[in-house]
Amino acid sequence: MKMKKQPVFLLVITFLWALRPSSLAGETRVYEEREGDRVTTHRFVIEPSGPGFTVDLTSETGDLKVFQTFQLDADLAALSWSYDAPHKKTKVTAVRKENRIFLEGTDEGDPIKKTFKINSLPWNQTFNIGLENFILSTEESMKFWAIGTSGPGNMKITKFNVKKKDNETITLDSTAEPVEAVYINISLSGLLSLFWTGKYWYRKSDGRFLRYKGKNRSGGPVALMELIR
């Protein structure tokens, strides 16, 4: 009995899909962030969308909620982003078209419309999701763009540097089991690195974000964010 031959293009597609470095799939991830007495729960709902993904993020601090939606390409770089913080009277959307990002909406009750001129570096608006492919790659460093939502960088675009530091075994409070992680530093680019650096840990096996430690604001307490389920 002869086996039916598969079309070549289907075999190629299957092979390429198997080689995709990211472990991202349809699922919900929940993180808890503690900054002094302030506790925020971040819920990421990830859904495949075309060749990429749609990520809906709800962040809750007491009665306050912030809603964000990210449209990501197959490499997990942002194509579009929406940010809605009702208590701040802020609601904006941003879309990348080639080497420009167009942002508009309302910021703290005032109309805002900006065009950011960038280069070919990726736009990574969610550090938690967008670095999985980098973690699983052999690259030791990278750069990307992101738009700030608070402090001096509010609604401004900034270039960030990422550098792998070491492999570490960490224990999350939610599991109490050791896990092998890749430890990286993310900082503002150039001299701005003096003003902010964050420490991040991602699971070595699949690149999933596990933990963040750093200061979210100048003079504030150290914040710790961890995967809880």
46-50 CB contacts, 8 Å cutoff, 24+ apart: 46/129
What pLDDT, in 10s, does the model give residues 159-171? 999 999 999 999 9
Least Cα distance to 196 among 166, 151, 226, 155 occurs for 151
* Distance in angstroms (rounded) separating the CA atoms of residues 174 and 52: 29
Determine the pLDDT at residue 193.
66
* Distance in angstroms (rounded) separating the CA atoms of residues 125 and 78: 6
The chain-wide mean pLDDT, for the chain, equals: 88
Backbone angles phi, psi at 8, to 5 degrees: -60, -40
What pLDDT, in 10s, does the model give residues 59-106? 999 999 999 999 999 999 999 999 999 999 999 999 999 999 999 999
Least Cα distance to 125 among 54, 65, 214 occurs for 54
* Distance in angstroms (rounded) separating the CA atoms of residues 174 and 39: 16
* Distance in angstroms (rounded) separating the CA atoms of residues 26 and 22: 12
C-alpha to C-alpha distances, 85 to 35, 46, 57, 82, nearest whole angstrom: 19, 20, 12, 10
Q: Where are the domains of the chain?
A: 21-227
Average pLDDT over residues 211-221: 87
Q: Which residues contact 70 (CB under 8 A, 6 or more apart)?
A: 54, 55, 57, 78, 80, 81, 125, 126, 129
| CATH for 21-227, options being 2.60.120, 3.40.50, 3.30.70, 2.50.20 | 2.50.20
Average pLDDT over residues 14-42: 74
β pairing state of 27-35 and 197-203: unpaired
Which H or E run contains 215? strand 209-215
Q: What amino acid is encoded at 157 in this protein?
A: I
* Distance in angstroms (rounded) separating the CA atoms of residues 199 and 180: 16
Q: Identify any residues that bridge with 123 across adjacent strands, giving them in sequence order.
A: 145
pTM here? 0.86
Tokens for 14?
A: 């299957």
